[in-house]
Structure 1
Amino acid sequence: MKLLILGGTGPTGRHLVDLAVRSGDSVTAFVRDPEALGDLAEEVTPVIGDATSQRDIATVAGGHDAILSALGRGSAVTAGELFTRSSAAVVGAARASGVSRLVWLSSFGVGHTYDWASTAQKLIYRTVTRAIYADKEIADERIRNSGLDWTVVLPTRLTHGPAQGTFHAGDRLPMKGNPAISRADVAAFMYQTVRGDEWVHRSAVITD
């Protein structure tokens, strides 16, 4: 496959880029700083751009089989802006360039999934992540209403641990305490998802 990956220098995105490269896919890494790719820069096509700019994304999106976004909050954009703006840019660019498949990384606890959270999770979502989750809620709804072949991925608390390969995925999962999942497993799920149609037009909750 020919994949356009946004956020490829982030902690989840690097796992995603590495997995796609090792699987033999052609990868375009849409980044602010190609040097942040390290050794992976030699294995992909790095493109410098702004993920909140529809023009920047549309310039490179054409000809790809899918767009995957592993964007995280960057220091250059304050909370309340990044995901709202980048979702608009990505959807507009995908439509303009004829790319229908989109896998979008969000978070469990965003939007309606807050109601499914445990007491411990809700405390965090009401305080620590409140502003960024409000931003993500707007973005997620835009993705779902985009008319694209979308998948929204909703992981629980992210860790930097190794991939376990035994994570759980579902439209809704029971929650106790403050469950977690490694970024490596999230990347693996995103990659599996983009290669099939099981999760098209669905939101996937994932956790270990």
Structure 2
Amino acid sequence: MTNRDNDNAATAKLKILVLGATGGTGRLIVREALARGYNVTALVRSPDKARDLQGAHLIVGDARDEAALRKALKGQDAVISALGTPASPFREVTLLSTVTRSLVNAMKAEHVSRLVAITGMGAGDSAGHGGFLFDRLIFPLLLRKVYADKDRQEAIIRNSGLDWVLVRPSVLNDKPGGHALRALTDLSGFHGGTIARADVARFVVDQVSDDSFLHGSPLVTW
């Protein structure tokens, strides 16, 4: 058996919990992980919205509930968080940080250390690198409160003591995947971009078993 065969045999046994599995990017993450032979569990609030996630083990529950998270985490090797929240120009947003705080506690209790979480371009030190339209109009008018919560989410993860990777996609689109992407940690000279959800899904699933960006926050874009 070759080294590659050994690697494939090892990774095929990985068990992954996906949060946000019924979202646009989350669905593609589930499909990508299943295509690689991983065992995938999805914690979902509505099983009706998850009917097309064939091959994934569904657990019905609220991701804000630590007990539900602990149930879903039993026996898992890693967690992918693809949670999102709609634009909220006026109301405070707390969902992402609330879920993440519960998730970190549950992961520690169940001895699951690997966490790959999607946040977004504009979070943390990627703020101000979205290009004129994003930085001057979309972000301040529609996303300011969402990104305040993404910043809280990132801070919780950074201080968690887990083996984490924060993935910050540029503006998402639904074009076919398969494009070469860039994973940027130095944003000097970068001012906006776009990327297909499918390519983000591929990159995110890579991070479950790749330590290249461990404890890092790459911005992914075309």
TM surpasses 0.5 = yes
Q: Which residue of structure 2 lines up, in the alignment, with residue 88 of structure 1?
A: 101
Contact 1:140 1:152 in 2 (8 A): yes
- SS of corresponding position for 1:39: coil
- SS of corresponding position for 2:53: helix
| 1:117 positional shift | 3.9
1:2-21 equivalences in 2 (<5 Å): 2-21=15-34
Q: Which residue of structure 1 lines up, in the alignment, with residue 85 of structure 2?
A: 73
Deviations 1:37-86 (A, max 9, x none): 23323x111001111111110122021110000111169xx751211111
- SS of corresponding position for 1:18: helix
Contact 1:20 1:191 in 2 (8 A): yes
Q: Which residue of structure 1 lines up, in the alignment, with residue 190 of structure 2?
A: 175
Count of residue correspondences: 204
Change (3 A) 1:93 1:74: farther
Which one is further off, 97-106 or 109-118?
109-118
2:214 to 189, 200, 206: 200
State how far apart, in whole Å, the 1-side matches of 2:93 and 2:121 are: 17
| 1:109 positional shift | 0.5
Q: Which residue of structure 1 lines up, in the alignment, with residue 62 of structure 2?
A: 50
Q: Which residue of structure 1 lines up, in the alignment, with residue 72 of structure 2?
A: 60
Contact 2:17 2:41 in 1 (8 A): yes
Q: Which runs of 5+ in 2 are unaligned?
A: 1-13
| Residue identity in the other structure for 1:72 | G
Contact 1:7 1:31 in 2 (8 A): yes
State how far apart, in whole Å, the 1-side matches of 2:139 and 2:163 are: 28
Q: Which residue of structure 2 lines up, in the alignment, with residue 186 of structure 1?
A: 200
- SS of corresponding position for 1:12: helix
Tell me whether 1:98 sits opposite 2:142 in the alignment. no
Which one is further off, 20-29 or 121-130?
121-130
**Sequence identity, in percent?**
36
Contact 2:121 2:169 in 1 (8 A): yes
State how far apart, in whole Å, the 2-side matches of 1:138 and 1:89 are: 13
Q: What is the TM-score of this pair, normalised by structure 2?
A: 0.86
State how far apart, in whole Å, the 1-side matches of 2:78 and 2:92 are: 27
State how far apart, in whole Å, the 1-side matches of 2:196 and 2:105 are: 31
| 1:116 positional shift | 3.7
State how far apart, in whole Å, the 1-side matches of 2:198 and 2:92 are: 24
Which one is further off, 184-193 or 52-61?
52-61
Q: Which runs of 5+ in 1 are unaligned?
A: none
Q: Which residue of structure 1 lines up, in the alignment, with residue 168 of structure 2?
A: 154
Contact 1:73 1:79 in 2 (8 A): no
CA RMSD of aligned residues (A): 1.7
State how far apart, in whole Å, the 1-side matches of 2:27 and 2:160 are: 26
Q: Which residue of structure 1 lines up, in the alignment, with residue 142 of structure 2?
A: 128
- SS of corresponding position for 2:58: strand
Contact 1:54 1:88 in 2 (8 A): no
